[in-house]
A and B are shown apart, each in its own frame.
Chain A
Amino acid sequence: MIEIVLQISLLLLAASMLGLVYRLVKGPTVPDRVVALDAMGVNLVSITAVLSMLLHTSNYLDVILLIGILAFIGTVAFAKFLEKGEVIEYERDR
């Protein structure tokens, strides 16, 4: 029973991933694509969680936290690049 539910949820997550890929390819502006990538990271987190339940293992739980951190850092770096034109500045308020 729980396996069928998990497989259906995997299918739905894959469908939402496809929608995000559409926005990533079509998105008229760069921020659209960045937000699509961030949401794909969140989707990847949930896919990993569902997969670890399907495989009856708790070894993927570190991966979930890792993907969350990396998606956060990546999105922040993209946002800073879009706002200021450089990712890491040498001296602020100059």
Chain B
Amino acid sequence: MKTNDVIFQTVAKVVFFMIIFFAVHLFFAGHYYPGGGFVGGLLTSGALVLLLLAFDMKTVQRGFPVDFKWLIGIGLLFSIGTAAGSLLFNVPFFTHAYNYFQLPLFGKTSLHTAMLFDLGVYLVVIGVTMTIIQTIGESE
């Protein structure tokens, strides 16, 4: 039986960007407000799951030609790199550093190396979730 779900596909295309923007907001707000890498990554993979529901696996893989297993490795590399980078400055493992910078668009902003660690968590969560879902969905 062929089904025609135009409404769902159109809604999914719009809502996908809303969820992605909300996930990015949660990711960047994580230092001062509730949120962070874990929730942001989970919500990003939720947006990708919405696309998987609206379309099919092949279309989504063509739209995002990313092997999600690589994201796990890249994320772990980011986290361990941030943790090991502190060894270069003769401070204990996992010591973070921060400073205030004058950015052109944002004004005075505090940049923290914990954000890089959080980026690793974000990528690992996306990779793990999408790998699990794609592996389960592919089996026929």
Q: Within 8 Å of chain B (Cβ to Cβ): is A65?
A: yes
**A1 smallest CB distance to B (angstroms):** 29
State in angstroms the CA–CA spacing of A66 and B53 once bound together. 18
- Cα-based distance from A72 to B50 in the complex (angstroms): 9
B137 A87 Cβ-Cβ under 8 A? yes
The number of chain B residues with a CB under 8 A from chain A is: 27
A88 touches B8 (CB 8 A): no
Residues on A with C-beta less than 8 A from B58 are 90-92
Query: Secondary structure of the B side of the interface?
Result: helix
- Chain A, interface residues (CB within 8 Å), range: 20 to 34
Residues on B lying within 8 angstroms of A by beta carbon are 2-3, 8, 15, 19, 22, 26, 33-35, 39, 43, 46, 49-50, 52-59, 133, 137-138, 140
A interface, CB within 8 angstroms of B: 59, 62-63, 65-66, 69-70, 72-73, 76-77, 80, 83-84, 87-93
